[in-house]
Chains A and B, each alone.
Chain A
Amino acid sequence: MKLLEVHEITAGYGETDILEAVSIELRENEIVAIIGPNGAGKSTLLKTIFGLLTPREGSIKFLNEEITGLSPNQIVKKGISYVPQLENVFPSLTVHENLEMGAFIRRDKFQQKLSEIYHLFPMLRERRGDKAGKLSGGMRQMLAMGRALMLDPKVLLLDEPTASLAPLLVGMVFQKIVEVNRAGVAMIIVEQNAKETLKISHRGYVMAMGRKVFEDRGETLLNSEEIGRLYLGG
């Protein structure tokens, strides 16, 4: 079943278009990678899906419902969560408070979900009372992901989850992404770390200059000579 259908969207900041007629889709239980060089419009695509930018043309559907032009707080209520690349935690709040804020719009008691998140990220439980601003980069990524998962989203949008992390942590973050996905959360991941991402992705899209230039199964893209040469650095 298709969760998300992005149909030929054109979007950008002010007068300048960054995305030109980009179409992608996300099915249930999938991890979809969006890779490509800097400035290809990958992050812009994610922001447009989440309503941080309004597309000039095209449509975005979530579970067959039009969500084009909705604001982020409306979209998050529908079941899509977004983890920005940087500054994705509330620094002066504790780890625990950050997770509670993730559940701010939940009307039920979310203790069960909270302990699930702590089970998934045991390191967060150890530091639940610490200010999020004191955490290392890797821990912040985990916290940001944990916070986004507090709402039980059907779709998680991750913007460069491993950017500027030490290699050891990169592996750990990807491992967590796979665990979250196995629990039934579909994901779109925008990454510079293309090879590693394609390894865990079911499908992938390659973007360049604001357009979609390739799409295929993750494995196929990974083994394609042309894509390797052009976009994965040889």
Chain B
Amino acid sequence: MAELLVYGIVFGSIIALGSIGLSLIFGILRFANFAHGDMMTAGAYVALFLVSGFFNWLGIPDSNLGPLSFGWRMVIAIPISMIAIGMLAIFLDHILYQPLRKKRSSNVLLAMAALGASFMIQMVVLILWGADSLFYRPGVLRPALELPFEIKIRPDQLFIIVIVFLSIIVLHLFLKYTQMGKAMRATADHPELARITGIDTRRIIRWTWGIGGAMAALGGILYGIDVQLHPGMGWGFLLPLFAATILGGIGNLVGALIGALVMGVVQQISTAFLLPTYKPAVEFLIMILILLLRPQGIFGGRS
């Protein structure tokens, strides 16, 4: 049981990176980004391309990093992939969503466009890397650390939890104390008033996509480190992503984090009683229950 709890927290914190971006984008654009999971996939594969392709070609050696299953190459690949996916997100908004917003298209149309973007990303990944599951470094297994209370945790998983919490703290400080962060919160509060105040909302939107994309890429890479890479992985994240965002209250970042942790833990614990193939059913059940009982989320937010 303790092990499932650890796995749940690890999976939950990976999901949190996605759900926070999803929540941020929804808060500012009132737009459900169905391609968010696939941005995570794209981030994971860009890192794979760097670690096992591009850096080889450049001749960067891959030295080991203590007990972790990956090396220095990954440390360099993570920020590059985050920037790449941040830019991809800004680009997608520019060519796809912004023209639709200009025409004042309905939310349904925007959601469909996001769905289209989702398929496109999946297919591109499928064409470039094939349908098989891939690993950053095949065949490396590191012994788990033994913590008190018989908790076993792999060094990679510890790394994931630490990285996730660090990046969420950095994002929180950014939103709370920088002028840009405050302007993002102001725009989420009231886009029209932000425009009246002179805030350049198009710039805010670019920042939002950039941050959302970068966080998603990080989440995808961490999942790739913890489990494996697969072209459909992001599609599978969609349900827990949305459930976590709704659970935490849409537009509420702390809520999105806690929502994601709850989703991760509940989903993993359920495998003690049910077959793992029922995980999506459990996620659906949680989402339906939240929508029935408390649609504004546990911590409130926008409906």
Chain A interface residues toward B at CB < 8 A: 50, 52, 71-73, 76-77, 82, 84, 87-93, 97-98, 100-102, 104-105, 147, 151
Contact = CB atoms under 8 A, between A and B. Distances in A.
B198 A73 contact: yes
B186 to A, nearest CB: 5
Contacts of B199: 73, 101, 104-105
Contacts of B189: 90-93
B227 interface: no
A93 B193 contact: no
B190 A104 contact: no
A92 B185 contact: yes
B182 A97 contact: yes
Given A73-B200, A87-B190, A93 B195 contact: no
A101 B183 contact: yes
A57 B117 CA distance: 41
B182 A100 contact: yes
A47 to B, nearest CB: 10
A89 B197 CA distance: 10
Interface residues of B, number: 16
A88 B195 contact: no
Ordered nearest first, which 7 A-B pairs have the shortest CB separation? A76-B198, A105-B198, A90-B189, A90-B186, A101-B186, A73-B198, A104-B199
B182 A50 contact: no
B179 interface: yes
B196 interface: yes
Given A50-B196, A90-B190, A93-B185, 14 more contacts: A73-B198, A90-B194, A91-B189, A91-B190, A92-B185, A92-B189, A93-B186, A97-B185, A97-B186, A102-B197, A104-B183, A104-B197, A104-B199, A147-B197
- B179, B183, B186, B199: most-surrounded residue (chain A CB, <10 A): B186
A77 B195 CA distance: 12
A116 to B, nearest CB: 18
Is the contact region of chain B dominated by helix, strand, or loop, or is it mixed? helix
Contacts of B186: 90, 93, 97-98, 101
Contacts of A82: 196
Given A90-B190, A90-B193, A104 B198 contact: yes
A104 B179 contact: yes
Contacts of B193: 84, 87-90
- A88, A92, A102: most-surrounded residue (chain B CB, <10 A): A92
Contacts of A73: 195, 198-200
Interface in B171-228: 179, 182-183, 185-186, 188-190, 193-200
Contacts of A151: 198
A112 B182 CA distance: 20
Nearest to A83: B196
B101 to A, nearest CB: 15
Nearest to B202: A73
Contacts of A147: 197
Contacts of B196: 50, 52, 72, 76, 82, 84
Contacts of A89: 193
A77 B198 contact: yes
A50 B197 CA distance: 11
